[in-house]
Amino acid sequence: MTQGPLTTEAGAPVADNQNSETAGVGGPVLVQDQLLLEKLAHFNRERIPERVVHARGAGAYGTFTVTADVTPYTRAAFLSEVGKETEVFQRFSTVAGNLGAADAVRDPRGFAVKFYTEEGNYDLVGNNTPVFFIRDAIKFPDFIHTQKRDPYTGSQEADNVWDFWGLSPEATHQVTWLFGDRGIPASYRHMDGFGSHTFQWNNEAGEVFWVKYHFKTDQGIKNLTAGEAAVLAGTDPDSHQRDLRESIERGEFPSWTVGVQIMPAADAASYRFNPFDLTKVWPHADYPVIEIGRLELNRNPQNVFAEVEQSIFSPSHFVPGIGPSPDKMLQGRLFAYGDAHRYRVGINADHLPVNRPHATKARTHSRDGFLYDGRHGGAKNYEPNSFGGPAETGRALWQPYDGFGAGTGDHPTPLHAEDDDFVQAGNLYRLMSEQEKERLIANLAGAISQVSREDIAERAIGNFAAADADFGKRLESAVRALRD
């Protein structure tokens, strides 16, 4: 049974969708064939700019359920009661590849969760790694340029990647992580997620806590070796995307146990290292992970373009009781995402079904712009007004930051005793079994041996030697063996 006649965009029935209208049999095509013109013109405009990073990804809807009382730490309503459920939309991604890139590559994975709370959407835009390559947003465009295509060759270049990492010793911890076993997850379901940054929680009394989020996969960690990934990337480029969709179709809903590390505000100034430095983890011995919830993905999007490609996540989307920390990376990100959304999806991106609040209503005085749907009707578009419009609450989402010194330079002030680029990279190496170390060194050597200049390779190796002498020595001989 047909659903009724095929129509034009304006709804008029279409007589012939197989042949253009011509001036007589075999004659030239007529400009009066509006269906043809409409189809060709619409087709030319099907693409929007892909995300400048994390272009390649997949998403799903689900549910977050609170499993512990966290009201002593945050007044966020969606976290206010054990058993409380909140709808989520989550998008996973790789970082460097373009929209059509293969999934099974060595690259961090994006782990972005949108909580549709009754106080507005809360976005946690994290990764599958607890740390990052750099600690200041001002280096991000340079860093990403080295991960993307070289202006001359049009390809990703080992020289650029290792030049930047060698000259940015703070990357050593994340690079050690990335070239270890967890650097290529077997799927989006078989990896952990992290909020990565330190965030602020504040409770009803206005007390401040610094927190880090952890999402532990209930499917267990599963990774690919470099060899397995190379085959899979070639034979099944959509491996992660398909795995996520099919597991949900089968009713095998992936889930994560959600936890937080909580640091009382007073600890920050005197902690061993700067607790807002994104290149470092907080050792669990200092701040244990406390379980607070469960995240389950249980519904596939019906239209990938509408719901995944046009989805927008921003680290600046907070709700009452949650806010930023002075982490210099996070501060830069608070600007970057909204700006990217306005360019990539447009000024009314927040109005799309996947992006708008689901458990409350957005009540702003902003209006109009491309593709405005008239949602505000005739309501007044200014404040203050005498017509009962929405009004400000007088209470900020987060507490003001009580800084402990002003300063510039690579490290935020004050310097903490262990503000160092190498200690945690060395600790990670020393934690590994002999087999893990062998694979790490083989992965790193394989990549560094592609570099064309000796000084770039030496500097890169030098950072691993600074993390651990044995690490540096073994890496140097492995690189030499491949280059000779």
Q: Is 411 a catalytic residue?
A: no
Closest to ligand HEM by CB, 198 or 479: 198
For position 341 contacting ligand HEM by CB under 6 A, the verdict is yes
Minimum CB distance to ligand HEM, residue 329 (Å) = 5
Which of these is catalytic: 19, 42, 54, 284?
54
Q: Does 469 bind ligand HEM (CB under 6 A)?
A: no
CB of 259 to ligand HEM, least distance (A): 17
Taking the least distance from each CB to ligand HEM, the nearer of 112 and 466 is: 112
Contact string 94-133 vs ligand HEM (x = CB under 6 A): ----------------x-x------------xxx----x-
Residue 349 interacting with ligand HEM (CB under 6 A): no
DSSP 225-287: -HHHHHHHHHH-TTHHHHHHHHHHHTT---EEEEEEEEEEGGGGGGSSS-TT-TT-PPPTTTS
**Least Å from the CB of residue 10 to ligand HEM:** 32
Cβ closest to ligand HEM, residue 108 vs residue 321: 108
Amino acid at 355: N
Please identify which residue in 287, 337, 398, 471 interacts with ligand HEM, judged by CB under 6 A.
Answer: 337
For 407-410, the CB contacts below 8 A with 24+ separation are 410/135, 410/136
What angle in degrees, to the nearest 10, is found between the helix axes of 140-147 and 158-167? 150
Catalytic residue status for 127: yes
Q: Contacts with ligand HEM: how many residues (CB under 6 A)?
A: 27
Please check whether residue 232 is in contact with residue 184, taking contact to mean a CB–CB distance below 8 angstroms. no
d(CA 387, CA 370): 27
What is d(CA 119, CA 86) in angstroms, rounded to the nearest whole number?
Answer: 11
Shortest-Cβ-distance residue relative to ligand HEM: 110
Q: What share of the chain is helix, strand, coil (3-state, %, to 5)?
A: 30, 15, 50
In the shown chain, the binding pattern of residues 51 to 90 toward ligand HEM, with x for contact by CB under 6 A and - for none, equals xxxx--x---------------------------------
Question: How many of the other CB atoms lie within 10 Å of CB of 25?
Answer: 5
- Taking the least distance from each CB to ligand HEM, the nearer of 89 and 179 is 89
Q: CA-CA distances (angstroms) from residue 160 to 101, 163, 166, 169?
A: 20, 5, 10, 15
Nearest to 199 by CA among 364, 68, 60, 330: 330
Q: Are 114 and 311 within 8 A, CB to CB?
A: yes
Q: Contact between 294 and ligand HEM (CB under 6 A)?
A: no
Q: Which residue has the tokens 């790694």?
A: 129
Catalytic residue positions, numbered: 54, 127
Could you list the residues that contact ligand HEM (CB under 6 A)? 51-54, 57, 91, 93, 110, 112, 125-127, 132, 137, 140, 196, 311-313, 329, 332-333, 336-337, 340-341, 344
